[in-house]
Amino acid sequence: MITPILIDCDPGHDDAIAILLALASPELELLGVTTVSGNQTLEKTTANTLRVLELAGRADVAVAAGAGRPLLRERFVADYVHGKTGLDGPALPPPRGAAVPEHAVDFLAARIAEADERVTLIPVGPLTNVALLLARYPEIGDGIERIVLMGGAIAEGNVTPAAEFNIWADPEAAARVFASGIDVTMIGLDVTHAARMTREHAERLRAAGAVGTFVAELFDFFSLFHLRQYGIDSSPIHDAVAVAHVLDPTLVATERRNVEVETQSELCRGRTVVDLWRRTEREPNAHVGVGIDAERFFDLLLPRLESLDAG
């Protein structure tokens, strides 16, 4: 069975690897990629998406640019993690192609409407485009099988002690998605930090060819932040875990729980309050990732990335 998917992203080192994993997976039909301001500006995340698709020989995959800033909050780019280009490290040429003229929200709606079956939406950046999609097309949920998003955390955050970046960047958008009633899966930091890419993984990929070398060079740069921040020489490939979970739902253990997003407090802005032990009467509204089989994740990821060099 082939699963139709749409990725909404903000490349971003780990977004790039998530896109490559989707391209290397025959079980998935990538209907298109939409971009959002997050790790870098919309202009840069869109250019980076085009560059990655072209590197993989998939310029045929349509890219549509979306929101250039969060719904309410000021734009904030994570250049301290992903660099000035948003994909610092590898020497990747500027894109040859361009995004389609449609706005990402209209592009997502059109792809979902024309699909033969309900589409799995994989947002791996701030959720601004998804919230706008729900607002502009109130019935769109009928065409969405599920939303498997990278974001949030049961425990500590990564942009503040309280919040993970994708949710913190646009907490109002995230709150809208979790309240949508659509089947939502939250792949949070608790899971992604338990499956980190190592230098050994990177060296294996560097030997594979152009794409493998690209990923290894992404790791070389991305790992600098994690070394500075956590004192570890390995990096969570956050966004690729969301795609992997769609490929093999046994990789990540989930529990159906209530998730609320803090939008009022500055101290805890963007915190995903996960009622893990059901202490409240709040209805469960998401499948929350609570564990990952890291070894099987890389047994899936690495050979597929290598297959992109196999020609």
Chain contacts with ligand RIB (rule: CB under 6 A): 10, 12, 14-15, 38-39, 124-125, 150, 158, 164-166, 238-239
Give the residue with the Cβ less far from ligand RIB, 226 or 238. 238
Token couple for 103:
């706005």
CB of 270 to ligand RIB, least distance (A): 10
Is 122 a residue that touches Ca ion (CB under 5 A)? Answer: no
Of 143 and 236, which has the nearer Cβ to Ca ion?
236
125 contributes a contact to Ca ion by CB under 5 A: yes
User: Looking up tokens 């280009």, which residue turns up?
Assistant: 85
Residue 145 or 190 with smaller CB distance to ligand RIB: 190
Contact pattern for Ca ion over residues 75 through 114, marking x by CB under 5 A: ----------------------------------------
Q: Give which of Ca ion, ligand RIB, none residue 309 binds (C-beta under 5 to 8 Å, depending on kind).
A: none
Q: 207 — phi, psi (to 5°)?
A: -80, -5
> Which residues are identified as catalytic?
238
Closest CA to 128 of 183, 80, 85, 75: 75
Rounded to a whole number of angstroms, the minimum distance from the CB of residue 238 to Ca ion is 7
**Of 121 and 137, which CB lies nearer to ligand RIB in the complex structure?**
121
Axis-axis angle for helices 42-55, 13-23 (nearest 10)? 40
**CA–CA dist 140, 134 (Å, integer):** 7
Site size for Ca ion, by CB under 5 A? Answer: 6
Q: Which of residues 209-248 bind Ca ion (CB under 5 A)?
A: 239
How far apart, in Å, are the Cα atoms of 304 and each of 25, 102, 206? 7, 31, 14
Q: Which does 270 bind (CB under 5 to 8 A by kind): ligand RIB, Ca ion, none?
A: none
- What residue 212 binds from Ca ion, ligand RIB, none (CB within 5 to 8 A, per partner kind)? none
Query: Which of Ca ion, ligand RIB, none interacts with 170 (beta carbon under 5 to 8 A by kind)?
Result: none
Q: How many CB atoms neighbour CB 71 within 10 A?
A: 18
46 binds, among Ca ion, ligand RIB, none (CB under 5 to 8 A by kind): none
Query: Minimum Å distance from CB 150 to ligand RIB?
Result: 5
Q: How far is the CB of 124 from ligand RIB (least distance, A)?
A: 5
Pick from 12, 157, 188, 212 the residue near Ca ion by CB under 5 A.
12
| Lookup: tokens for 210 | 């152009």
Q: Does 124 bind Ca ion (CB under 5 A)?
A: yes
Q: Considering beta carbons, is residue 12 or 188 the nearer one to Ca ion?
A: 12
For the chain, what's the residue count? 311
Write down the least CB distance from residue 139 to ligand RIB, Å.
28
Residues within the interface to Ca ion (CB under 5 A): 10, 12, 15, 124-125, 239
